[in-house]
Amino acid sequence: MRIAGVAHPQLPERMEVFDEKQRLFPEGCFAFDAAGHLAGYAISHPWTLNDVPPLDSLLKALPVAPDCLYLHDVALLPQARGSGAAAGLMAMLTRLADDCGLAHLALVSVYGTDKLWRPLGFEDAGQSEKLAAYGLSARYMVRRL
């Protein structure tokens, strides 16, 4: 929650939202260590392509027939940025999606970070009214594996 508060001050989510995602799909939750200190995290879970989960909402269950690995949140403290964490994360998420038989990664880019996701293979994939809660710069992005 401390890292989420630093990384996403305008997009707060309740602790139970994080807890539920970790309970539903623990293999999709990662922590980043920098010099022995927690410096970031990533939370992902199987989901349905082109369906944006509402911000700060409980999923209740994962879809029976998912077709993408959804990156719910990636947050790094300033000291972890530029450390190669994003490249390492993409390798882990790609392996995880492949292990789950999923052909896509999907995410909502916020704060203009679409510039960071595009070089990692993500492309804009349309808009949704659900993006409004994520802010004006929000973009739904997909990477085909």
For the stretch 51-80, pLDDT in tens is 999 899 999 999 999 999 999 998 888 877
CATH superfamily of 2-144: Gcn5-related N-acetyltransferase (GNAT) (3.40.630.30)
Q: Which residue has the tokens 């450390």?
A: 83
Query: What residues does each domain of the chain span?
Result: 2-144
d(CA 15, CA 19): 6
Percent helix, percent strand, percent coil in the chain, to nearest 5: 35, 30, 40
d(CA 46, CA 60): 13
Beta partners for 142?
Answer: 106, 123
More confident position, 126 or 42 = 42
Task: Using a pLDDT cut of 90, give the percent of the chain over it.
Answer: 59
Of 121, 124, 137, nearest in space to 50 by CA:
124
Beta partners for 45?
Answer: 70
Sign of CA dihedral 120, 124, 130, 136: positive
